[in-house]
Structure 1
Amino acid sequence: MKNIKLTLLACLLLPIITFAQGMRQMEPKKNIPLDSIRLSDPFIMADSKTNMYYMTGTGGLLWKSKDMKLWDGPYRVTQTDPNSWMGPRPMIWAAELHEYKGKYYYFATFTNRDVKIDTVKGNVIERRACHILVSDKPDGPYVPMQDPTYLPANKPTLDATFWIENGKPYMLYCYEWLQNWNGTVEKIALKPDLGGSIGEGKVLFRASDSPWSREKDENGKDRPNKVTDGPYVFQTKTGKLGIIWTSWVYNVYTQGVAYSASGKLDGPWVQEKNPITPPDFGHGMLFTDLNGKQLMCIHSHKSVNGKYIRIPHLFEVDLSGDKLVVGKEYKP
């Protein structure tokens, strides 16, 4: 029971703590080393048009860099509608930036803490959903598009990411474990301009499919952890389709990987037996830097004096074979 409580508490409080940290850091600064930035769920877009790197994550803020060694920021880049379901001051988690057909898109999780949609096993669930904003520039401002919602209002979703299959755009996301008690990774089709969703979501895999994540049930017995977090889709040079995603091994934040047996989003998805990154690292993403080097951006996770600290890190990766191979930590 102790490990269950630790896991639940960590998942509930980490985004709130990090968001609050982000809200305090509103005065942009210059030349900040990467390891001096406190940021959950970091995402780096290498933009060849501006020859710059743009980093975002939880908190709704943006950092810029020419070399990934030193960063300027943070900058606030979102302009949400206060009259929308998000409310006047939504919490923003796990933001991603994607260039698509000449525009830039901001995939993120928005939470309106004033609206409660459900209570499950004593947990009050707030209105939380994935949404997409758009801009003509990588550093924003990012504003809403036409459709007011992308996913059902009574379903808490988070950690949206982007993938194109056979020329059709999709959003992948997690259906949060707080409601279904067995988190999922799902996909939903998007309109050609990403301005809304098409149809309903489809489950790709569930938290319980994981052979490596662990927690204790109410009787103290081992079982797969219920959390799905931070999915990111990638393809190796041989055409193998994979998803990295994060959960817990008891109270250790951990990232694993699954591969599609069909090479398509519909799977079936086969989970690798072992995690792919060191303990206490998670919510990773993959990108190619402006010099052609393949990297993983991920955050470390540790508790310092009772507070959770998350710091962005870079790791070298090899995608030349059938599977993702994570190498040593990379220092720009």
Structure 2
Amino acid sequence: MIKKALLLVALISANLIPGFSQNRAPVLRQDVPLDSIRLSDPFILADRNTSTYYMTGTGGMMWKSKDLKAWTGPLVVAKTDPESWMGKNPMIWAAELHQYKGKYYYFATFTNRDVKIDTVGENVIERRASHVLVSDKAEGPYVPMKDPMYLPADKPTLDGTFWVDKDGKPYMIYCYEWLQNLNGTMEKIELKPDLSGSVGEGKLLFRASDSPWSRENVNGKVGPNKVTDGPFLFNTGTGRLGMIWTSWIYDVYTQGVAYSKSGTLDGPWMQEPDPITPPNYGHGMLFRTLNGKWLMSVHSHKKSNGRTVRNPHLLEVNFSGDKLIVGKPYLP
């Protein structure tokens, strides 16, 4: 399983590296249909200040649209510090946009491939962490804030997302990567009031092995998969706190959901027994359209001519009751 997973990481990198460069000016395209965009981990901000949808994801670029049909991009919006731990040209994964207290925040995973922090078995682990940039505008540019680091330098972390819990404090929820701990975890860390840094240490929410639906086969032994990926938080209509997150069923990318019994990030988190999206769809998030309709943004995950192809998709959702229910594809 480890060799297979490392091969998958290599394939992902081979397909995505051209999009990571902040120094390489992308070719701007207009009126691009959503299903023609290649993008992993799509995150859509419906910005009411500009009546515009902004979509980010892995690669660090931005797309924008007025109607979810025709998109313009890709645009370079992340401006990192070349003297920081990220280095001159970091890889950027799973970028998210969050509006909070009059500003816009860019939560993303940054990787400095020139720095190796650990070796666990066959896994050579690069310097990778979730981090936050800021802008006064949804369209950016997004720039660093005060703190040089949000999470420990000796731990590979990824897919940071944002949530304000019932205590009124802001938090980053992120994955501590399985490559090092061999059983990926979902964790939280408190953020400063202006999100410019973190407070204290991370706290465990649940482990990959808690999943009843994920699977892997290691030396003929079947058990839960070790990957935690793509958290996103939401409240149901009854006030129940939920989290969608993604793992694998053997070689099939799959998304499930968990609910907090306490209604807070501290849980305990109870995993639903079955996935909530079709096979080969995952890394979802929820957003409300400018017309008031709730949708889920996900990416599909398939092989084509020896390459891994990922495209964003929109699905209808309903969580007005006690649970999140995923419906049919949404065609704007």
TM class, shorter-length: over 0.9
Distance 1:120 1:142 in 2: 34
What CA distance in whole angstroms lies between the structure 1 residues aligned with 2:37 and 2:16?
Answer: 11
For residues 149-201 of structure 1, give each alpha carbon's deviation from its aligned partner in whole angstroms, at most 9, with x where no partner exists: 00000000000000001321000000000000000010000000000000000
Which amino acid in structure 2 is aligned with residue 262 of structure 1?
A: S
**Mapped contact 1:172–1:185 kept (Cα < 8 A):** yes
Structure 1: 5+ residue stretches without partners: none
Structure-2 separation of matches of 1:11 and 1:266:
31
Match of 1:283 in 2: 283
- CA separation in 2, counterparts of 1:21 and 1:262? 41
Q: Name the residue aligned to 1:198.
A: 199
- Contact map agreement 1:168 1:192 (CA 8 A) in 2: yes
Quick one: distance in 1 between partners of 2:86 and 2:220?
Answer: 39
Deviation at 1:6, TM superposition (A): 3.2
Q: CA deviation at 1:65?
A: 0.2
Answering whether residue 226 of structure 2 is matched by residue 226 of structure 1, we say: yes
Distance 2:122 2:132 in 1: 31
CA distance in structure 1 between the partners assigned to 2:17 and 2:283 by the alignment: 16
Match of 1:176 in 2: 177
**Residue number in structure 1 paired with 2:303:** 303
AA in 1 matched with 2:316: E
Question: In the alignment, which of 15, 18, 30 is matched to residue 16 of structure 2?
Answer: 18
Call closer, same or farther: CA 1:301–1:284 in 2, change over 3 Å. Answer: same
Q: Give SS of 1:143's match.
A: coil
CA contact (8 A) 1:118 1:124 kept: yes
SS in 1 for 2:253: strand
- By how many angstroms is 1:15 displaced? 4.8
- The size of the alignment, in residue pairs, is 329
Structure 2 distance, partners of 1:114, 1:301, is 28
Aligned counterparts, 1:93-242, within 5 A: 93-165=93-165, 166-217=167-218, 219-242=219-242
Structure 1 SS opposite 2:16: helix
Q: Secondary structure at the match of 1:162?
A: strand
Please tell me whether the aligned partners of residues 6 and 251 of structure 1 are also in contact (alpha carbons under 8 angstroms). no
CA drift at 1:209: 0.2
Task: Report the 3-state secondary structure (helix = DSSP H, G, I; strand = E; otherwise coil) of the residue aligned with 1:144.
Answer: coil
**CA shift at 1:125, angstroms?**
0.4
Residue 160 of structure 2 aligns to which amino acid in structure 1? A
**Contact 1:15/1:40 (CA < 8 Å) preserved in 2?**
no
- State the TM-score, normalizing by the size of structure 1: 0.97
Matching residue of 1:86: 86
Question: Take 1:15 and 1:244, find their aligned partners in 2: how far apart are those partners?
Answer: 25
**Conserved? CA contact 2:255–2:282, under 8 Å:** yes
Q: Distance in 2 between matches of 1:303 and 1:134?
A: 35
Q: Secondary structure at the match of 2:297?
A: strand
Shift, 1:14, TM fit: 1.8
Partner AA of 1:69 in structure 2: K
1:15 touches 1:58 (CA, 8 Å); kept in 2? no
Q: TM-score, normalising length from structure 2?
A: 0.97
- Residues 19 and 60, structure 2, Cα contact 8 Å, conserved in 1: no
Q: CA deviation at 1:122?
A: 1.4
- 2:152 alignment partner, SS class: coil
* Equivalent residues of 2:20, 2:90 under 8 A apart: no
Q: Which residue of 1 aligns with 2:252?
A: 252
3-state SS in 2 of match to 1:17: helix
Give the residue type in structure 2 aligned to 1:51: S
Percent identity between the aligned chains? 71
Retained in 2: the 8 A contact 1:237–1:319? yes
Aligned residue type for 1:87:
G
Aligned-partner residue type, residue 168 of structure 1: K
Stretches of structure 2 lacking an aligned partner (at least 5 in a row): none
- Change in Cα spacing, 1:125 to 1:37, as seen in structure 2 (3 Å) is same
Q: Distance in 1 between matches of 2:237 and 2:243?
A: 15
